[in-house]
Structure 1
Amino acid sequence: MFHGTITEELTSHKEWSHYNENIIEDQKDFVLVKFNGLHLKSMEGFQSYISLRVCIFSNNFITDIHPLQSCIKLVKLDLHGNQIKSLPESKFWSGLKNLKLLYLHDNGFAKLRNVCVLSACPSLIALTMFDCPVSLKKGYRHVLVNGIWPLKALDHHVISDEEIIQNWHLPERFKAYNHRLFFNFCPSLKKGSTYEDEIGNIKYITSKINEILSHNSPVLIVQRWIRGFLVRKKMSHLFLHKKHQEKITNKCETKWIYIQKGFEDKLYKDLFLQPGTNKTEKLSHWKYGKKKLWVNFH
Structure 2
Amino acid sequence: MRARTFPFLPSSRLSLPARALALTSVASLLVFAGCANDGDTQVMAPVVLGMLDTAGPTYDDGQVQMYQVQKSVELPMRQPTGDERPKGQSDPYARPPFNLASDTRITVRFTLTNLDETQHSLELLVDPWNEFVRYVPGLTTDSEDEAEPNFSGIDRFYILPPKGRIEGILTPDDMVELATDLGTAMKLQKTPPAADSAFGGPVLYNRAFNVQNRSSEPDPVLAPYIPKVVAGLVGFDLGLRTYEPAKIAVEIVVDVQDVNGERVVKPGDSDKSIGRPGGTLTPPAAARQ
TM-score tier, shorter chain, comes to under 0.3
What TM-score, normalized by structure 2, do the two folds share? 0.22
Bigger relative contact order, structure 1 or 2, given CA contacts below 8 A and separation 6+? Answer: 2
Q: Counting helix residues as a fraction of each chain, which structure ranks higher?
A: 1
Q: Counting strand residues as a fraction of each chain, which structure ranks higher?
A: 2
What TM-score, normalized by structure 1, do the two folds share? 0.21
